[in-house]
Amino acid sequence: MHVAGISYFKVIITTDLFQNAKAQLEEAYKHFPASKETKAVLENPQKVIQASIPVRMDDGSLKVFQGYRVHYNTTRGPAKGGIRFHPDVNLEEVKALALWMTFKCAAVDIPLGGGKGGVIVDPRKLTTRELERLSRAYIDELFDFIGPDKDIPAPDVYTNEKVMAWMVDEYNKIVRHQHYGTITGKPVSRGGSLGRNKATALGAYYVLKKACETQGINPGNARVAVQGFGNAGYHLAKMLYDDGFNIVAVSDSRTAVKGDHINPDEVMEIKAACHNKSMECVFEDGYVKDNTKYQKITNDELLELDVDILIPAALEKVITEDNAEKIKAKMVVEVANGPTTIEADKVLEKKNVFVLPDILANSGGVTVSYFEWVQNRQGYYWEEEEVYKRLKKIIEAAFDKIYHVSKEKKINMRTAAYVVALERLSAAIDSHGTEEYFKN
């Protein structure tokens, strides 16, 4: 089956992903005097859950799927993080994503900790009924570890609001009352927040516009390439197109489209009508009247285009030491989680590429998830304009703070974002007492 709004990218997830995430933290330690307690607490996840999840298939057989949930740190609030259904999910990946979420929440100063979950499965090979059973079974197995005051899951790769609706329904069945604040990213009809669908893209749009001001990039002249045409990639491309940016390339998991002033709506309409929901149909007769204005390229070629702004919006580790030297963009906006390796970071910094790190650039999603959680607990729901107004305030304040630290300490934006987050996490951890406190 196809889950709407998600681009599926085949990537190699290796066990060094968690070490890559920790290396980014180690860099921040060089610029902030974290206590022994802070370093000890943040060295490893607070809690790691691995579950075998039995699901009865439509043909009567029983399959057992491996699932994970990680709470990295909950000092500043309940764990928060998505659940991904993907065949390449593994524990090291989930730990890395939970660490990033911990720092993401702290970087934008929302009172939540970091968590993440996943199931090893290719949901495209499941029927709708099988997907529902798996979604409910995940909650059954992880029930004791989640809840509105413990851990609040949300959608991630290959899960969506329908999956979240099944999950919150299963949780409420078990507790025998309505607890909509347990899951975010739900349909609006089931307690979801207005504006959540565009939140990640809109947050990225706000920080990108602020960054353009500091880097002297004129939207009317800026060439943009977007790798990943799922929910966030599509909406961000559309916002930029409407704002006068020149979208010169977009891609999904199967192919990339190169052109001039590409209209994201036109490409999305073709993709939605395609027999395999792919951009491949942009190059097929019958789907588009004039396909001569498009050129077919690979995802790798997209990353190396001569553009002002490159937006990786797919999965992890697409910019590596193997291709970083070939990146020509002046600015990289990380809408995906962990798209740049630590080795590639060093190369980009030497090339003076301005990188908006994932824990800032894609924080709009978790920020509006936080709004959803707040609204669920209050039983009072905001208008869409109110959601966007609050999101803009938080995101722009986070950019200003991180950019200031970057300039003050003469460090790149990623390290600055970690320093800002580390300062807040350290204050919360050290409030319990430090070695110096207890000695005295």
DSSP annotation of 123 = G
* Alpha helices for 337-383 (secondary structure H): 342-350, 358-361, 364-378
* Alpha helices for 216-295 (secondary structure H): 231-242, 264-273
Question: Assign residue 109 a region: left if phi > 0, alpha if psi is -120 to 50, beta otherwise?
Answer: left
Amino acid 1: pLDDT: 40
Confidence band for 6, pLDDT divided at 50, 70 and 90? very low
From the list 104, 116, 258, 401, the catalytic residue is 116
Confidence band for 5, pLDDT divided at 50, 70 and 90? very low
What would the pLDDT profile of 56-66 be if each residue is shown by its tens digit?
Answer: 999 999 999 99
Q: Is residue 111 within 8 Å of residue 78, measured between CB atoms?
A: no
Token readout for 106 is: 């702290």
Amino acid 26: pLDDT: 93
Helix (H) or strand (E) holding 223: strand 223-227
Closest CA to 254 of 292, 296, 222: 296
Instruction: Characterize the bridge pairing of strands 79-86 and 246-251.
Output: unpaired
What's the mean pLDDT in 373-388? 97
Amino acid 408: pLDDT: 97
Handedness of CA 152, 87, 305, 225 (dihedral sign): negative
What's the mean pLDDT in 90-114? 96
What's the mean pLDDT in 3-28? 64
Please state, rounded to an integer, the average pLDDT across all residues of the chain: 93
């880097």: which residue's tokens? 215
- Give the rounded percent of residues in the chain with a pLDDT score beyond 90: 83
Q: Give the Å distances, CA to CA, from 256 to 6, 208, 259, 289, 305.
A: 15, 22, 10, 19, 12
Q: Is residue 373 within 8 Å of residue 111, measured between CB atoms?
A: no
Amino acid 96: pLDDT: 93
Name 29's Cβ contacts closer than 8 Å, sequence gap at least 6: 39, 422
CATH of domain 199-361: 3.40.50.720
Decide if domain 45-180 falls under CATH 3.40.50.10860: yes
Amino acid 288: pLDDT: 64
Handedness of CA 368, 97, 99, 172 (dihedral sign): positive
Strand partners, 225: 249, 310
Token readout for 259 is: 């052109």
Q: Is 30 helix (H, G, I), strand (E, B) or coil?
A: coil
What would the pLDDT profile of 307-316 be if each residue is shown by its tens digit?
Answer: 999 999 987 8
- Give the rounded percent of residues in the chain with a pLDDT score beyond 70: 95
Backbone angles phi, psi at 332, to 5 degrees: -115, 125
Token readout for 282 is: 């942009």
DSSP assignment of 48-115:
EEEEEEEEE-TTS-EEEEEEEEEEEE-TTSSEEEEEEEETT--HHHHHHHHHHHHHHHHHTT-S-EEE
Q: Give the Å distances, CA to CA, from 29 to 23, 343, 344.
A: 10, 18, 20
Calpha distance 175→133 (Å, rounded): 18
What's the mean pLDDT in 177-200? 95
**Residue 324 identity (one-letter amino acid):** A
Active site residue 80: no
Amino acid 72: pLDDT: 98
CA 316 to chain centroid, in Å, comes to 10
List the chain domain ranges. 45-180, 199-361
Question: pTM of this prediction?
Answer: 0.92
Q: Is 249 helix (H, G, I), strand (E, B) or coil?
A: strand
Amino acid 291: pLDDT: 61
Handedness of CA 380, 384, 385, 389 (dihedral sign): positive
Q: At what angle do helices 231-242 and 199-215 cross, to 10 degrees?
A: 50
Indicate whether 9 pLDDT > 50.
no
